[in-house]
Amino acid sequence: MSDLSGELIDGRYQLTRQVANGGMASIYEAIDTRLDRKVAVKIMHPHLAQDEAFVNRFIREAKAAAALSHPNIVAVQDQGWNQNGVPAVFIVMELIEGYTLRDYLNERGRFEIKDAINYLTPILSALSAAHDLGIVHRDIKPENILISKEGRIKIADFGLARGELIGSTMTVESSVILGSVSYLSPEQVQRGVADSRSDVYAVGIVAFEMLIGEKPFLGDSPIQIAYMHVNQEIPSLRSKRKEIPPALDELIMKATNRDPDQRPRNAGEFLKSLEAIQHEIDPKTNQMKLELDLPVEPIKEKPRVKAKKEIVEEKEETIDVKETTKEIRIKKQKRRKSSKRVRRNRKVALFLAVALGVGGWYTLVGPGSRVVVPSVVGGTYDDAVSTLNPLGLTTVILEKRFDEDIAKGAIIESDPPGGGRVAAGGEVKLIISKGPERYTIPLLKGLTPEAAQAAVEKFPLALGASSEIFNKDIPKGFVISSDPVSGTQVKRDTTVSLIISKGIETAALASYVGKSGEQALNELSDLGFNVDSTYAFDENVLSGAVISQTPNGVDAAPKGSKVVLVVSKGSQYVFIPNVFSIEQSKATRVLQDLELKVVVKKLGSKKTKQVTSIVPRVGSKVKRGSTVTITVG
C-alpha cells in the first residue's frame, strides 16, 4: 500500500506520518482538524477493501473496542469510509505514544517478578472488562500490548475479537486460524474455536515470556510450534528460574493447561488469583520488622597467668626420686636368675601379639575390612551414586514405592541402612519414592456410560452416581463431563461421578397460522426457537397475520431449532382514491401511503395547485407499486 501521508481523510483527519504497516492495514499518526488533537488512523489496504468479509471484520474491530470503556484498552473514536479523495475504510483511535511490550522484552530480556506482576495486572483488568461483555480478544501477544510514555498499559487490536456484541470474525476460509501461533491455545489450533479461557492461555504464555525471557516453545516453523502447544505441557517456571514463588508458578501452569476446563474461567478469575499472590509477595499493610538477627561469635578464653608460688610447686612435682644403690643391685640380681622357661614364654607372647596385629590390620584396615555405608535417605538417586561410588560401592534400585511424605525421586530407605557395613565392592539396595499416590481422571467426554465406567475402572477409583442434564452439543445418553473433571490428579479410591446428556431440550410447537405475526415471533422466541420471518402479499389473510408456518403444530421440537413464518402484507391490490380538488402535496402523500408511484403534471401558474385529473380513474383496482398520474392546476 502506498504511503498516504499528507492526505485528508473524511474531510477531517490530516495524515502526518505512517507509524506501522501490517498485513491487513496501515496505521498513521494524524491530526483531528475538528478538535485539533493527535489521533491514530487505521486504514485498510485497498485490495482487501474489495473483500466484504475483511471489511466486516474491520468494522467489527471498531465495534468491539467501542463497546469497551476501560483505561487499559485503546479507545476507538470514529469509523467510516473516505468519500472524497483516496478511497479508504478507516478506524480512528486514541494515539498511544510509547512502545510495545515486545520492545521491552527485546531490550530487557526477562522481568523482575514484581515488575512482571505489575504489568500483568492491568492487562488482565482490561480483558476482564471485555470478558464481562462476552467479548474475547483472541490475539493477545506482546505486540498488541502498548506502554505509553506515561507508563499506562493499553491493549490494542481487537481485530480478531469475538462475542455476542460483535459476532464472528473468522475469515472466509474457515480453515484459516488468525492470531500469532506462539500464543494460540490448543483448542484454537485444533478446532478453531476460542472463548475467554483462550485469552487466559495467551496471557499465561506472555507471563512465561516476561518471567523467563523466552517463549516456552521454539521451532523452525509455525506448524512445529503449534504442534508443541497441542501435545506438550508448558515447562515449569521454577525449572528455569528458582526464585519464582511456587504459588505464581502453579498459577501460570494452571493458566496454560492444555485442557481449557483446568484454566481460570476468565481474566477476572485469573486477576484475583494473581492479586492474592502479589499481596503475599509484597503485603503493603505489614510494617517493617525492626529485629536485627546478628550472629553471636563465641568468646575466646584468655590464657591464665600463673602465680610464682604455683610455678615453684609445679617444678617441685616434677622432681624424680632416685632409687638407692641397694635397690638397683637387688634388681640386677633378679634379672640374672630369670629361667629359660620365662624367656620361652616371652617369645610365644611376642608371636601372638604379632599375629593379632596382622589379623587386626587385615580386618580393620587391610583387604578384609568392611565399608561403613553413609546415610543417603532423603537424597536423590544421583546423590546416592555420587556418594557411594567413590567408596567402591554400587547402587541397586530394589523397589519404587508410593509415599505421601517423601517427594517423588527421593530415597525412602537403604539396605544396609546408614552406618551399616558392607563388603568392599558390595552393593547398596535403595527404595525410591514415587511420591504421593495419585491417578489422573481420564477424558470421559463423549463416551457412553459403559465406556466411561470401563475407563475409570482401569484405575483404583470408584464410580459414583450419575446425573442427567440437557445439552445441545452432546447426544443423548453420552457423557458430558465428570466430577472431578478430566485431567485432575486424585487419590486412590476417589469417587468419580458422571454427568450424562439428556440430549437437546424440546418444547411443544403450536400452530400460529392466522394469528398475529408479532405474537408468534414473541412466543416462539420465548420458548427458545430461532424464528425467521418473511413477508408476502395475500388476498385472503389480513396484513400482519401469519400465512404459513414451518414446521407447523408438532408435539415436540428441539429448542434452538429454526421456525419459518410467512407473514401477510395484505392484499396486493388497492383502489384509486378520490383526490380531486385536494392540494398536490396531500394528494401525493395519500397515494404514496397506498404504495403507489405518483407522477405529477402541472398546469397554470397558481401558487397553490389542486388535483384536476387522475389516471387511472377513481375507483380503479391496481397493483401496489403501480404508477398514478395526477394533473394539478
List the catalytic residues: 139
**3-class secondary-structure state, position 303:** coil
Residue located via cell numbers 470408584: 462
- Joined together, the cell numbers standing for residue 372 give 561403613
For residues 161 and 64, the answer to whether their CB atoms sit within 8 Å is: yes
Residue located via cell numbers 481460570: 264
Parallel/antiparallel/unpaired status of strands 597-602 and 562-568 = unpaired
Q: Cα–Cα distance between 236 and 37 in angstroms, integer?
A: 47
Q: From the CB of residue 154, how many other CB atoms can be counted at a distance below 10 Å?
A: 22
Residue located via cell numbers 472466509: 172
Q: Cα–Cα distance between 456 and 464 in angstroms, integer?
A: 11
Please choose, from the candidates 586, 602, 597, 603, the residue with its C-alpha nearest in 3D space to the C-alpha of residue 628.
Answer: 597
- Joined together, the cell numbers standing for residue 295 give 550472629
Q: Cα–Cα distance between 625 and 633 in angstroms, integer?
A: 25
At 444, give phi and psi (nearest 5°): -110, -10
Residue located via cell numbers 561403613: 372
**3-class secondary-structure state, position 46:** coil
Burial string for 355-367 (b: 16+ CB within 10 Å, else e) reads eeeeeeeeeeeee
For residues 45 and 86, the answer to whether their CB atoms sit within 8 Å is: no
- According to DSSP, residue 454 is labeled H
Please choose, from the candidates 42, 46, 41, the residue with its C-alpha nearest in 3D space to the C-alpha of residue 2.
Answer: 46
- Joined together, the cell numbers standing for residue 111 give 522481568
* Distance (Å) of CA 616 to CA 166, 464, 575, 628: 50, 82, 10, 6
At 402, give phi and psi (nearest 5°): -65, 145
For residues 477 and 452, the answer to whether their CB atoms sit within 8 Å is: no
**Share in percent of the chain as helix, strand, coil (round to 5):** 30, 25, 45
Q: Cα–Cα distance between 196 and 162 in angstroms, integer?
A: 10
- Joined together, the cell numbers standing for residue 206 give 506472555
* Distance (Å) of CA 199 to CA 190, 225, 256, 259, 554: 16, 18, 10, 14, 43
